[in-house]
Amino acid sequence: MTVAAETTSSPPVPPVPLAALLARRALGLRLLAGRDDVALHWVHTSEMADPYPYLLGGELLMTAGVQLTDPVRYVERLVEAGAAALGFGVTPVYDTVPTALVEACARHGLALIEVPPETPFTAVARALWRLMAEARLHELRRVSEAQQSLATAAARPAPVPAVLGALASRLAGRAVLFGADGTESLAAGREVPAEAARALRELAAVLGPRPGGPASASGEGGGFRLAAYALGGGDGLTLGVATERRGPGDHTIAGVAVVLLSLLTAPHRGADVTVRDGALVRLLLGAPPAEVAGALGPGPWTVVHASGGDGTPFAAASLAAALGTPLVEAGAGAGAVRLLLPASAAAVTPQQGWTLGVSAAAEPDGLAAADAQAARALRRAQATRASLVRHRPGGFAALVDPAEAAAHARTLLAPLPDPLRETLRTWLSLHGSWDRTAVALDIHRNTVRQRITRCAALLDRDLDDPDVRMELWFALG
């Protein structure tokens, strides 16, 4: 059994078989060597004598043979680079595809197509992109239909078997729920050979109930494609999936099932929710945070602000399950999420498709400050394009009397309205970078310049002076 980590969170652009491109009769393409079932991931045109350094693998390489001097070596280099196929345009350099090139492609198993003089290379590229767009649309529809099917199954009287059955049906394979001890708790779908079943069980054991361990893994065994996903219910359950082939959207479909099964199998979920809701009601009615924190879970707490996700309704719940907390709020902005993690949750680690800002640990009376810390950390992560940024505790600022510092800050910053204060805070945090500030605030860099110039005028301060910047940074902190 081979094992690899699962990283895809949304279906990528599906490859297109060469046969689909050959079927476009208007192009007049003709297969001269190799097979027509190779997968094309993109198209690239090059007239270099050796394009190897510029290939990623999976390309349909288009050339007219301008610098073709050694066909055998040329084909060997393409195969070494992982090119999927070679498209050779006849005229103006060659009247026909060189025989030596055809023989070399046949010997090395590289698909070779002849491109007629009346077909521009751009027409071939455009046809391939259209085929890939059609495949992408088909895959997105498939994923959307699967999500609806799984959601419907989760509302049935026996939701866990129903979700497993719907997943197995949508993936045309077998879905198995493994217990914490590795035994098969529940299964649905087609039977698989004993070798594949054993390999799937071993793959699920790779995940196990270890805190902070991998959330998913993939592999092969018994002629089947295998995948395993750790559920977020906290009781060590694992979902295993075995299919004969794997589509681009299969991981996304399985991810929806993981979220649903994590919610459905969470131990004592109803009692926990009742206690938590009661605590939140008491908090809204004026109870001190310290009084209700015990009902929510043991402290200290960590606040996480997140942006991103795959755009599905389950994205926030999936992130919460991965971080080990039921306390999640999907914000008003696209992909904006806030989470509250108790001390029992695992350490926050980067999550595929998300940008995270993490506060310092806080007791109940410090949660408001922790929320602000997480917000600032997220803005810094977005500006620096980092996947995760943690709050960095202050140093000298902690030596100043808070009340005295707050009074001075109010006086100093009184001329600035809130939008200018936010721009100045972000600009200072990013060392005066116009471009990174523009990215963090989602505005144009010229707008940043105008706002900072306005700040300097209203404050009557030289913002290029390091001492002025330091004073303003403390005041804005």
pLDDT for position 352:
81
Is residue 123 included in any domain, yes or no? no
Residues 229 and 173 in one domain: yes
| CA 112/CA 59 separation, integer angstroms | 12
Strands 302-308 and 354-358: antiparallel
Q: Which amino acid is at 474?
A: F
Q: How many residues does the chain have?
A: 477
The model carries a pTM of 0.46
pLDDT for position 160:
85
Is residue 96 included in any domain, yes or no? yes
Residues 193 and 173 in one domain: yes
Tens of pLDDT, residues 287-299: 676 676 666 666 7
Q: How confident is the model at residue 148 (pLDDT cuts 50, 70, 90)?
A: confident
pLDDT, average across residues 164-190? 89
Of the chain, the percentage scoring pLDDT greater than 90 comes to 33
Is residue 288 included in any domain, yes or no? no
Residues 454 and 336 in one domain: no
- Which range among 165-179, 198-212, 258-272, 369-383 shows the weakest confidence by mean pLDDT? 258-272
| CA 71/CA 79 separation, integer angstroms | 12
Tens of pLDDT, residues 422-450: 999 899 888 889 999 988 888 898 999 99
pLDDT for position 462:
87
Q: Has residue 336 got a pLDDT over 90?
A: no
Is residue 163 included in any domain, yes or no? yes
Q: What is the mean pLDDT of the chain?
A: 83
The Cβ of residue 119 has, within 10 Å, a number of other Cβ atoms equal to 19
Tokens linked to 55: 């290939």
Residues 378 and 406 in one domain: no
pLDDT for position 8:
39
Q: How confident is the model at residue 399 (pLDDT cuts 50, 70, 90)?
A: very low
Q: Has residue 353 got a pLDDT over 80?
A: yes
Residues 303 and 419 in one domain: no
- Which range among 100-109, 228-237, 427-436 shows the weakest confidence by mean pLDDT? 228-237
Residues 412 and 340 in one domain: no
Residues 58 and 173 in one domain: no
Is residue 126 included in any domain, yes or no? no
Total domains in the chain come to 4
Residues 373 and 309 in one domain: yes
End residue of a domain, out of 393, 420, 444: 393
Tens of pLDDT, residues 36-63: 999 999 899 999 999 999 998 999 999 9
Residues sharing a CB contact under 8 Å with residue 137, sequence separation 6 or more, in sequence order: none
The three state secondary structure string of the chain is CEEEECCCCCCCCCCEEHHHHHCCHHHCCEEEECCCCCEECEEEECCCCCCHHHCCCCEEEEECCCCCCCHHHHHHHHHHHCCCEEEEECCCCCCCCCHHHHHHHHHHCCEEEEECCCCCHHHHHHHHHHHHHHHHHHHHHHHHHHHHHHHHHHCCCCHHHHHHHHHHHHHCCEEEEECCCCCEEEEEECCCCHHHHHHHHHHHHHHCCCCCCCCEEEEEECCEEEEEEECCCCCCCEEEEEECCCCCCHHHHHHHHHHHHHHHHCCCHHHHHHHHHHHHHHHHCCCCHHHHHHHHCCCCEEEEEEEECCCCCCHHHHHHHHHCCCCEEECCCCCEEEEEECCCCCCCCCCCCEEEEECCCECHHHHHHHHHHHHHHHHHHHHHCCCEEECCCCCHHHHCCHHHHHHHHHHHHCCCCHHHHHHHHHHHHCCCCHHHHHHHHCCCHHHHHHHHHHHHHHHCCCCCCHHHHHHHHHHHC
Is residue 145 included in any domain, yes or no? yes
We report the CATH number of the domain holding residue 61 as 3.40.1390.20
Is residue 250 included in any domain, yes or no? yes
Q: By residue range, what is the domain housing residue 172?
A: 139-265
Is residue 4 included in any domain, yes or no? no
Tokens linked to 46: 């090059």
Residues 406 and 372 in one domain: no
pLDDT, average across residues 380-386? 85
Residues 144 and 259 in one domain: yes
Q: Has residue 10 got a pLDDT over 50?
A: no
Residues 219 and 323 in one domain: no
Q: Has residue 472 got a pLDDT over 50?
A: yes
Residues 378 and 431 in one domain: no
The Cβ of residue 211 has, within 10 Å, a number of other Cβ atoms equal to 10
Tens of pLDDT, residues 314-328: 577 778 877 878 788
End residue of a domain, out of 393, 427, 450: 393
Q: Which amino acid is at 44?
A: H
End residue of a domain, out of 378, 393, 408: 393
Q: Has residue 235 got a pLDDT over 80?
A: no
Per the rule left: phi > 0, alpha: psi between -120 and 50, beta: everything else, 194 is: alpha
We report the CATH number of the domain holding residue 187 as 3.30.450.40
| CA 146/CA 166 separation, integer angstroms | 8
